[in-house]
Amino acid sequence: MIKIAIAGAGGRMGRTLIAACELNENCQLSVATERADSDLIGNDAGIVAGISKQNVKISNSLDASDFDVLIDFTHPTITTQHIDYCLKHSKKLVIGTTGCDESLISKIQKAGDSIALFYAPNMSVGVNLCFQLLQTAAKVLGDDVDIEIIEAHHRHKVDAPSGTAIKMGEVIAEALGRDLNQCAVYCREGQTGARDGKTIGFQSIRAGDIVGEHTVIFAAEGERIEITHRASSRMNFANGAIRAVNWLANKNKGLFSMADVLDL
């Protein structure tokens, strides 16, 4: 049995992770945390998640003696602290936090030298299959198409473009031998002039309770190809995280991604 700690247990994703953990026969929730000023401190994590009582009270700190793997879908600042904590206590870590800057990505990569660590901007199996499809499409279509990435999420999402959209852009840019930092164009406005065919465009929508939608358009003269993924429930992200937890069980160190878990 793998003992799981879930950070941000009272949030939308945290509650879904608790439910996914209960459904997996190999995992057991043992620690659930929230920020110190949360009014959920002291409540049973299962009741908060809307499932059966788990006999795990939400606390404002981790107990290193009581978990094997920490799942973190919180905020870059908190994730940074959790990496330091897991390094200090030799704990495994699954990170689904988005909006990570280059400094945090570098920290994640370095942490993999000491502990088993999994990081993915999107843990949906379908999205990770899309990454493979996008790579193939980019290689086949090459410079003959204009490429645009459109993503939509709920009104509460704080970063844009989404981590998944950025990853999609990186996959496409790498396949085309481009540097995304040089060719990305975000949210056009005003007199922009004719489109540069070597750019990759991004558009972000924030509205209502949209869980997550991503569409990549490859547009040529006379035809276009669209690859779309729509998430209707956070459970597919949570199930991906639990799948990653199980996959990390026999790993001592290294940085891994969903491509490793799915053997893509």
Task: Please give the pLDDT value at position 122.
Answer: 85
Classify residue 211 by its DSSP letter. -
Walk me through the domains of the chain, giving residue ranges and CATH numbers: 2-119+234-261 (3.40.50.720), 125-231 (3.30.360.10)
State residue 65's pLDDT score: 83
- CA–CA gap between residue 57 and residue 44 (Å, rounded): 4
Q: Of 3, 57, 89, 157, which is the active-site residue?
A: 157
Q: What local confidence, expressed as pLDDT, does residue 178 receive?
A: 97
The predicted structure's pLDDT at residue 121: 82
How many Cα atoms within 13 Å fall on the side-chain side of residue 200? 28
- Name the pLDDT band for 255 (thresholds 50, 70, 90): very high
**pLDDT, tens digit (0-9, with 9 covering 90-100), for 47-103:** 999 999 999 999 999 988 899 999 999 999 999 999 999 999 999 999 999 888 999
Look up residue 183 and give its two tokens. Answer: 């060719």
**From the CB of residue 228, how many other CB atoms can be counted at a distance below 10 Å?**
11
Per-residue pLDDT at 36 exceeds 80? yes
| Distance in angstroms (rounded) separating the CA atoms of residues 211 and 86 | 29
Q: Is the pLDDT of residue 264 over 80?
A: no
> Has 89 been annotated as catalytic?
no
| 157 given a catalytic annotation | yes
pLDDT given at position 263? 84
CA angle in degrees (0–180, nearest 5) for 87-90-91: 95
- Report the pLDDT value the prediction gives residue 5, as an integer from 0 to 100: 97
Determine the Cα–Cα distance for residues 26 and 39; give it in Å rounded to an integer: 30
Q: Tell me what the mean pLDDT of segment 116-124 comes to.
A: 91
CB 134 within 8 A of CB 228: no
Q: Which residue has the tokens 């956070």?
A: 234
Whether the predicted model's global pTM rises above the 0.85 cut: no
Residues 134, 264: Cα–Cα separation, whole Å? 13
How far apart CA 100 and CA 220 sit, in angstroms, is 33
Q: Which residues pair with 3 in a beta bridge?
A: 28
Task: Tell me which DSSP letter residue 52 carries.
Answer: S
- Average pLDDT over every residue of 116-138: 93
Residue of 75, 91, 153, 214 with catalytic role: 153
Kindly report, residue by residue over 145-167, the tens digit of the pLDDT: 999 999 999 999 989 999 899 99
Is pLDDT above 90 for 144? yes
**What value does the mean pLDDT of the chain take?**
94
CA 32 to chain centre: 19
Give the C-alpha separation, 149 to 64, whole Å.
41
